[in-house]
């Protein structure tokens, strides 16, 4: 966390807990600067951030005033799921399909969406990059870079790993049609129909869809809402079943928002190494961290090529371009052959445009803005949860990404809630979407990647009312 | 065939058969115009075409002279393959992979390539279209057009079908990552591992790779080098096995270059209808016809949605963009769900660029040039076959596309030939690549989609020598 963010967090806490009250004046910038021994510029940055979060407002020639009342952040949930420990045949894709369709309508308040707001991405700059790169395109590249993907893009991706100290050879990268294809190629490479695969509980529904499509069984393993999959539970599942793969999101997991600490990632890799079970690592949110540095992937601790590490630009730079990649480890040549025979290659202009954009150094500036926006929006949405949803609602507080997880009172039926909400123009992502056993019937995933508007506030209020009504009827 | 093409063909025939001899002067443009009752412009066009084919040459202020000697076009092969009629487990992907790798090197003479010359495509115009379309892009389109694909592109594709009298609803089109993904989605939708699928003999190796990857069995059915799959043989295979699908290329088949006459396509659809076996139709070369009009797909005769019709822009407009589509018939909603869970969506900028390019009316001009180039190159390559390859070599004479099929003397081993050729910088596509039973060991596919240069002539000569040497050793 940067200095100004720490200061802002400090002041926000004072407001929430009621130490600073609505209408009160904040200490002046000069006073705060002197008292805390930090520059005035840093204090200004902190005040701007608090203003953006809707907690304080400047009055002309007077200073900054608190405009938000004391609020209690919703508490965080604890370890989730009491999974049966059995492997499960997967059959959830119709439910998932229905919910996804409901989020595609423009007028719906997209609390259930899987995507951040499309307005957050630099399509104009990407258009220029595309024009430049396509004009310079060597037509032979359409033949030479087939299947493995643009050599310049692979170099640029390798350079980004170097920033976190990982030495990746561009030749070890296979470009794919988004991370989803990468994950599916990985799953196909290490399993056969009927095999069992370990997933988180709750898990990204894309994993469930892939398992279902390929006739694989799911073993759901309890997952901590802050620190990711429970390693003890994982170890016992590895011993009990003979899974052929383990599919996890190590950073800003969808839907929980949890991240495994680095040491835990290292232990995870060591554990899987012991059982010789490959890890399919979905790391698509890694660039969307709110702290001071990008978290490492589990791949960073992989000595033997047992980790198939998948990522993409779809969440961080260019949704719709469908450019992802995989570091295939010991499975690379198998993956390349599969890619060749299943879809040949990823779209070349999209690859070249992103490579050009990265080579011009635009990416980090864009990411800084995007992360800041998302972190501010998380605060605003979290305050709205505290304000509008019934007391007792639990919410995760991810340190990156754009989704969080809500646990409602146990008797609430989110599948029913979803039907009521969509009829009123609000989409939500109900918990059972994220479980082969259709657990989490009282939970939902909330997307905070869209600007918080009056309409959003209204939707949150409506959602609160709908939940309240369910309580009154049921109790 | 246009009038000037008919005239050129006529004169070319006179040259080949020795009626017009090398060094002789052609009748003047005016004479020919008067004698044949056609405009001088038409005669000029014909002479230009003959000049481009290397058959005649203009001498300043003197007229046109024959520069090519009499040659005999290689004869066409007859009905191919004596398939065993059994279904076969497929295991050819390593051979295919090896051969494909060998064609990717820039300096190799690409007689074995699967692609036409990259220089034949309008990348500069596509770059402009991409710039325009991406700047006008509504970011919400990245969400709304997910999975099914750009609505404008689907409309443009539907308009092209309308040109041949087919009424296709844009909502019946699913955009895919090239035709290969479309074909794989189709195969996945109608089969399960262990099922048998009917393919042509020889077949597109992509079909073999897909069957192998999905654990399907191949039933190879004899295929006529001019008119496509043998319907009697097909009927008996349908009766004997219980195939779950039939995967065919109805126009300018790869590798033979054969096309089914319209009536035969209609009979094919009726036959499959009777057995209720879905047709997976690969129609990627349809736009590359040399005659006066685009041939119909079998889909045009499909009343009940039993045909899964796949095509793309990869061969005709934008290789590397990876934009294809499928008309899914009764399987559409299943295909959409599979696409959603396997790769989500095709690359949006590539889709928008192609839609923009089509909407500006550029496509037909480009196609006219492309078809003309390919048809001229076919003549030139065919003459080279007659000149450089041993007498007795048979060659198909496709009426479109950019590959033809060679049948060498029975004792020639093309797998051995391929190794010798690639060592000398020449790639070829050996027959066994196109057969689950590894038949056609004396056949090869020849790509005429690259400009015929001195280097090509040299390669053809070398190839002829290598074949001759095999004959002397073996005999």
CB–CB contact B93 A337 (8 Å): yes
> For testing the chain B interface, which of A312, A341, A451 should be mutated: the one with the most B CBs within 10 Å?
A341
Mean pLDDT lowest for which of A117-126, B55-64, B314-323?
A: B55-64
CB–CB contact A342 B115 (8 Å): no
Query: Chains A and B: how many Cβ contacts under 8 Å?
Result: 176
One-letter-per-residue 3-state SS of chain B: CCHHHHHHHHHHHHHHCCCCCCCCECCCHHHHHHHHCCCHHHHHHHHHHHHHCCCEEEECCCEEEECCCCCCCCCCCCCCCCCCCCEEECCCHHHHHHHHHHCCCCCCECCCCCCCCHHHCCHHHHHHHHHHHHHCCCCCHHHHCCCCCCHHHHHHHHHHHHHCCCCCCHHHEEEECHHHHHHHHHHHHHCCCCCEEEEEECCCHHHHHHHHHCCCEEEEEEEECCCEECHHHHHHHHHHCCCCEEEECCCCCCCCCCCCCHHHHHHHHHHHHHHCCCEEEECCCCCCECCCCCCCCHHHHCCCCCEEEEEECCCCCCCCCCCEEEECHHHHHHHHHHHHHHCCCCCHHHHHHHHHHHHCCHHHHHHHHHHHHHHHHHHHHHHHHHHHCCCCCEECCCCECCEEEEECCCCCCHHHHHHHHHHCCECCEEHHHHCCCCCCCCEEEEECCCCCCHHHHHHHHHHHHHHHHHHHHHC
User: How close A409 gets to chain B, by Cα (Å)?
Assistant: 31
- Asked if residue B250 has pLDDT above 90, the reply is yes
User: How close B74 gets to chain A, by Cα (Å)?
Assistant: 31
pLDDT of residue B249: 98
Burial B304-326 (b: 16+ CB within 10 A, else e): eebbbbbbbbbbbbbbbbbbbbb
pLDDT of residue B51: 81
Q: How confident is the model at residue B204 (pLDDT cuts 50, 70, 90)?
A: very high
> Cβ of B14 under 8 Å from any chain A Cβ?
no
> Cβ of A341 under 8 Å from any chain B Cβ?
yes
Give residues 142 to 201 of B whose Cβ lies within 8 Å of A.
Answer: 142-144, 146, 177-178, 180-181, 184, 193
Dump pLDDT digits (tens) for B176-186.
999 999 999 99
CB–CB contact A130 B126 (8 Å): no
Dump pLDDT digits (tens) for A234-244.
999 999 999 99
Q: Which residues of chain A make contact with B181, given a CB cutoff of 8 A?
A: 342-343
- Asked if residue B71 has pLDDT above 70, the reply is no
pLDDT of residue A82: 59
Give A75 or A256, the one with higher predicted confidence: A256
B213 closest CB neighbour out of A144, A342, A347: A342
Q: How confident is the model at residue B459 (pLDDT cuts 50, 70, 90)?
A: very high
CB–CB contact B350 A349 (8 Å): yes
> Cβ of B267 under 8 Å from any chain A Cβ?
no
Q: Which residues of chain B make contact with A344, given a CB cutoff of 8 A?
A: 177-178, 180, 322
> Cβ of A100 under 8 Å from any chain B Cβ?
yes
> Cβ of B57 under 8 Å from any chain A Cβ?
no
- Among chain B residues, CA nearest to A323: B347
pLDDT of residue B305: 97
pLDDT of residue B475: 44
- Asked if residue A69 has pLDDT above 80, the reply is no
- Asked if residue A472 has pLDDT above 50, the reply is yes
CB–CB contact A124 B140 (8 Å): no
User: How close B243 gets to chain A, by Cα (Å)?
Assistant: 21
Give residues 384 to 443 of B whose Cβ lies within 8 Å of A.
Answer: none
The stretch B195-215 carries a mean pLDDT of 95
Q: How confident is the model at residue B266 (pLDDT cuts 50, 70, 90)?
A: very high
pLDDT of residue A217: 96
Q: What is the mean pLDDT of chain A?
A: 90
Q: Which residues of chain A make contact with B180, given a CB cutoff of 8 A?
A: 341-344
The stretch B63-67 carries a mean pLDDT of 85
Dump pLDDT digits (tens) for B325-341.
999 999 999 999 999 98
> Cβ of B107 under 8 Å from any chain A Cβ?
no
Dump pLDDT digits (tens) for B383-420.
899 999 998 899 999 999 999 999 999 899 999 999 99
Q: How confident is the model at residue A335 (pLDDT cuts 50, 70, 90)?
A: very high
Give B49 or B72, the one with higher predicted confidence: B49
> Cβ of A231 under 8 Å from any chain B Cβ?
no
- Asked if residue A475 has pLDDT above 50, the reply is no
A213 closest CB neighbour out of B146, B206, B338: B338
> Cβ of A131 under 8 Å from any chain B Cβ?
yes
| Rounded Cα distance, B319 and B123, in Å | 10
Q: Which residues of chain B make contact with A347, given a CB cutoff of 8 A?
A: 177, 320-323, 346-347, 349-350
CB–CB contact A100 B128 (8 Å): no
The stretch A395-417 carries a mean pLDDT of 94
Give residues 344 to 363 of A whose Cβ lies within 8 Å of B.
Answer: 344-350, 353
Q: Domains, chain A, ranges and CATH?
A: 3-66 (1.10.10.10), 87-119+365-474 (3.90.1150.10), 122-363 (3.40.640.10)
With pLDDT > 90 as the criterion, what percentage of chain A qualifies?
65
> Cβ of A106 under 8 Å from any chain B Cβ?
yes
A135 closest CB neighbour out of B124, B319, B353: B124
- Among chain B residues, CA nearest to A143: B104
Q: Which residues of chain B make contact with A143, given a CB cutoff of 8 A?
A: 103-104, 113, 115, 118, 319
pLDDT of residue B252: 97
User: How close B27 gets to chain A, by Cα (Å)?
Assistant: 42
């Amino acid at each position: 966390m940067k200095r100004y963010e720490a200061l802002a967090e400090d002041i926000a806490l004072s407001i929430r807990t009621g130490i600073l009250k609505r209408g009160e004046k904040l200490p002046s910038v000069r006073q705060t600067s002197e008292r805390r021994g930090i520059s005035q510029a840093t204090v200004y940055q902190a005040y701007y951030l608090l203003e953006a979060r809707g907690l304080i407002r400047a009055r002309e020639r007077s200073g900054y005033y608190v405009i938000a009342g004391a609020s209690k952040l919703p508490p965080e949930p604890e370890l989730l799921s009491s999974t049966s420990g059995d492997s499960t045949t997967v059959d959830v894709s119709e439910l998932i399909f229905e919910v996804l369709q409901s989020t595609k309508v423009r007028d719906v308040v997209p609390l259930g969406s899987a995507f951040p707001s499309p307005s957050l991405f630099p399509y104009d700059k990407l258009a220029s990059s595309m024009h430049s790169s396509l004009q310079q395109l060597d037509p032979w590249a359409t033949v030479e870079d087939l299947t493995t993907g643009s050599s310049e893009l692979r170099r640029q991706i390798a350079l980004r790993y170097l920033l976190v100290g990982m030495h990746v050879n561009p030749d070890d990268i296979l470009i794919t049609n988004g991370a989803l294809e990468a994950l599916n190629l990985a799953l196909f490479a290490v399993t056969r129909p009927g095999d069992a695969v370990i997933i988180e509980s709750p898990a990204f529904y894309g994993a469930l869809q892939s398992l279902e499509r390929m006739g694989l069984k799911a073993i759901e393993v309890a997952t901590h809402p802050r620190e990711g999959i429970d390693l003890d539970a994982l170890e016992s599942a590895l011993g009990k079943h003979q899974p052929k793969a383990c599919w996890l999101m190590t950073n800003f997991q969808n839907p929980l928002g949890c991240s495994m600490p680095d040491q835990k990632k290292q232990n995870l890799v060591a554990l899987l190494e012991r059982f010789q079970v490959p890890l399919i690592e979905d790391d698509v949110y890694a660039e969307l961290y709110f702290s001071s540095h990008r978290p490492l992937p589990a791949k960073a601790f992989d000595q033997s090529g047992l980790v198939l590490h998948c990522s993409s630009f779809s969440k961080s730079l260019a949704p719709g371009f469908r450019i992802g990649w995989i570091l295939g480890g010991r499975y690379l040549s198998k993956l390349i052959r599969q890619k060749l025979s299943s879809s040949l290659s990823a779209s070349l202009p999209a690859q070249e445009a992103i490579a050009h954009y990265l080579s011009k150094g635009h990416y980090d500036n864009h990411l800084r803005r995007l992360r800041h926006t998302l972190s501010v929006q998380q605060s605003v949405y979290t305050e709205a949860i505290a304000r509008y949803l019934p007391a007792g609602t639990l919410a995760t507080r991810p340190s990156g990404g754009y989704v969080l997880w809500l646990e409602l009172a146990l008797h609430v039926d989110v599948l029913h809630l979803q039907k009521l909400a969509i009829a009123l123009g609000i989409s939500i992502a109900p918990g059972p979407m994220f479980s082969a056993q259709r657990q989490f019937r009282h939970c939902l995933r909330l997307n905070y990647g869209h600007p918080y508007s009056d309409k959003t506030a209204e939707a949150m209020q409506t959602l609160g009312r709908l939940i309240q009504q369910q309580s009154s009827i049921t109790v």
